[in-house]
Structure 1
Amino acid sequence: MVRIVGFFAGLAFVSALLVAFVMPREKVEETAAQYVHEHREEKKISFSFDNPVWGKYDRQQLQRGFQVYKEVCSACHSLKHVAFRDLEEIGFTKPEVKAIAKQWSTEVPSINEQTGEPATRKAIPSDYFPSPFANDTAARVANNNALPPDLSDIAKAREGGPHYTHDLLTSYQEQPADLVKKFPDIKTPETLHYNPAFANLNIAMPPPLAADDQVAYADGTKATIDQMATDVSAFLMWTAEPKLENRHRTGIAVVIFLLIATALAYGSYQNIWRDKKH
């Protein structure tokens, strides 16, 4: 009796699978984001560190990128995993780093030694970059309830890394009329901004790079929107992976070592078995 019940239960299960296989699927509703991302050509840009073997950072570009972060991005975005003294790795001298820390617009939380009460002080090179807001609540209040992400590791946290960052910064535009016509319910709200590089097309962050010459580069480079986006994207790649060049050098050394070891092992094999009969 149990076998008969089991047989019919199995038959019913197999029948249900066959019905599900042959029945026509419901068409998945196309979304505006899906439509835009499928029909949009992503912007391509080349960075000096893209090569997985020989890639290295352009120190001058990193310093320009830091200037863009300092003058544009730092008003909303923190860099909590980077210390001021780390800037020496991209070419700033110790006196320059000390001056950058001392002149930073946001002071560092501290304790008054005399009263024991919370206080603030000027930053020193060993301090990490302070957040522009006291806490997440203050950040949301200042940004229409949106929480600006920390940028320390953003280049590694987003698919595409610095290429995505550059694409996002340079893709702000008016929402196309034909897109609204095709998808009437997706008109960008007044509190958001249309950006086809963003996952759902509407982003809370206003265009941070709104015009050319928004910063004045010390080395005389023309500060176009594309140039500023490229430089700050490279800088944020460095903050996320400051040891990239060391990793590349180590990889090259390991490959050379393995090649030499392989040649020596093969030579030893030939020498040991040279007079042996197979």
Structure 2
Amino acid sequence: MSPRKNHADQADIDTPLVRELVAAQFPQWAALPLEPVDSGGLCNAIYRLGSDLSVRLSLWPAGTDVVQREQAKLAALAPFLPMAIPTVEAIGSPTDAFPGTWSVHRWLAGTHPSPGALVDPRGLATDLAAFVDAFRRIDLPDRPPAYPGERRTRAPMVSMDSSTRKAIDELDGLIDTRAASASWEESLAAPYDGREVWVHSDLTPSNLLVSAEGRLTAVLDFETCGVGDPACDLFPVWYLLPANLRDEFRAALDVDDATWLRGRGRVLSQALIVLPHYKDANPATANYARHAIREVLAAPR
């Protein structure tokens, strides 16, 4: 089985290739069972290796420094966070068959939550707020920007404007484009005081794992985390949480009106951009985007 092809130019990755890479570079794990994981992710192919490990390969092979930076970042962040996050156990070298660096991670148990099918919505909302609050409180000397193009600006979402409006036009007939434009313009106008905190920046359901009891057990994919607008970590509000718990989540994080509007706009922008690209190629991602768009457009303005 190969990962779903979302783009024509992504790397060709399949089980025999991954098995060959592991056997050649990490023979201590060569005999372990290997199977692909349909994570719904857009950037990496994931394979489970035995019961305790996973192999991650970028769909667009990256250089060694990228994976090493990720390893260092995860190790630095982990002590501050109340939930499990990935740990890089080993870094694989490029080969002729796969010309990028790849990594072996510790396996994290759980399943991706699905909006509308949450076992313990209030407990999950509490866990997510605790994670975001802990993330905001991190104080490390290295402060990489979550969105480099937005640094040192009082209007951090302006750089997203043209791509968002383009996506709205592409979805004419599939969504209420007038409502989407009105919601986006309101969020775009929300002021920003320049305060920066540590943010994960992509707390969508595909990056969250929950237990059978419905509580948050782990958070995945820290490639784009860094310091930025606190609104970046309000994604669960519209991607996942039921409407009756949003005020509780907001109160737990003491979110002001302007930050709430910017957060809503960031969710809308991402979902609008994702949907036209993945509505056929990646149904799971497209369904998450559709849900987020519906929830944002249903919210009072």
TM, length-normalised to structure 2: 0.24
More strand by share: 2
Give the number of the structure whose alpha-carbon radius of gyration is greater: 1
TM-score, normalised via structure 1 length: 0.25
Report which structure shows greater RCO (CA 8 Å, sep ≥6). 1
